[in-house]
Structure 1
């Protein structure tokens, strides 16, 4: 109950004040810190284009921390191993079913590790691919074909997977898209502007969905 009250207070206060986003610092050895310019750029885009009031610098939070409940949106990325303890998995579950939102963006290489850790968080829920007509794909910007392809790795189609609780998407896993690379500074990956724009617009949809649902 205390955690539920905490998240409700955070969400309600966001109507009047700036909100904070966070990057998840997980264990297992994976590079949770990759794409350092990605979330700041997405925050700037959201503030300028969809009228959010996000604090410019994202914070860092660990899965077991009570501070997790301070953030309506938490971002997770990386290339390698992911590991959650049972305590971390329970805290993440409590956070998500209490109103939080976790966006996991595979930066290429974390999929084989991540899926078994998601089962720890939600052993009784199935990670399902989202259809192209899911609301998150047209919450502000329209993506009629679903998740856009930003970076090519294995010549595989981009897929968005999710877990829903009481009709609300609470965990989003974007795979074979690499949205975060598209959010990064242009000179890092030399993506064309139209590709970066697609990545930022899809990211804005995700942030807006997390805050308003």
Structure 2
């Protein structure tokens, strides 16, 4: 009976989120700073609302990875610099969310990649992140990025990568690394990036949001 009740709750939440147009910040465990770039997502939401026709709440909620609340949102955003750890329950909840129609964008704020990959191996065993080619629709959803993911901050000077996890031919998870889109979304005074760089970051972010809402 308990399992049946849980399934009914999840089904109702999934149905609700299919018509929603909201994003939330994903809070995770392990010691990593999930709260990094506090102005980033509100700025991206504002940009999307003003430029690509979305109607999102400009003050995004924070949801915990183990909570059923994540099913209320079609788009989750995750960032940080450090460690990421998923419990068995959290890994299962994330899998169910993504395989039920949800979308997760993880933006490496520099140094997150090695920890994240271990956590993803637990949540999605025997699944490999695939690099998206520059011809993937996400780079042409609204704004055009013929060379793929833009480089926002140099860090190690490596090329930016957009890595995806697919389920039944649907992109359910996007991991952007060596790009640092979130830094480009922050208030101009935080990193003093040129306006051209910030605009590229916001436009790429808008593409990701629109792609997730449509798919």
Q: Give me the TM-score of the superposition, normalised by structure 1.
A: 0.95
Q: Which runs of 5+ in 1 are unaligned?
A: none
Equivalent residue for 1:190, pick from 192, 198, 201: 192
1:25 touches 1:33 (CA, 8 Å); kept in 2? yes
Deviation at 1:165?
1.1
How far apart in 1 are the matches of 2:144 and 2:11? 32
2:93 match:
91
Q: Which residue of 2 aligns with 1:159?
A: 161
> What is the TM-score when the length of structure 2 is the normalising length?
0.94
For 2:3, the equivalent position in structure 1 comes to none
Q: Residue 11 of structure 1 corresponds to which residue in structure 2?
A: 18
CA deviation after TM superposition for structure 1 residue 190, in Å: 0.3
What is the alpha-carbon distance in structure 2 between the residues aligned to residue 6 and residue 96 of structure 1? 13
Q: Distance in 2 between matches of 1:182 and 1:86?
A: 33
CA RMSD of aligned residues (A): 0.9
User: Following the alignment from structure 1 to structure 2, what is the Cα–Cα distance between the partners of residues 76 and 204?
Assistant: 16
On the 8 A contact 2:16/2:72 being kept in 1, the answer is no
Which residue of structure 1 lines up, in the alignment, with residue 55 of structure 2?
A: 53
**Residues 142-153 of structure 1 aligned to structure 2 (within 5 Å):** 142-153=144-155
List gaps (5 residues or longer) in structure 2. 1-6
Cα distance in 2 for residues equivalent to 1:194 and 1:4 = 43
Q: Is the 8 A contact 1:137 1:146 kept in 2?
A: yes
The alpha-carbon deviation at position 7 of structure 1 amounts to 1.4
**What is the alpha-carbon distance in structure 1 between the residues aligned to residue 120 and residue 134 of structure 2?**
23
- Equivalent pair of 1:102/1:170 in contact (CA under 8 Å): yes
Distance in 1, matches of 2:204 and 2:121, equals 26
Cα shift readout 1:104-151 (whole Å, capped 9, x = no counterpart): 000001111000101111113211111111111111111011000000
DSSP 3-state at the match of 2:164: strand
Higher mean alpha-carbon deviation, 122-131 vs 24-33, is at: 122-131
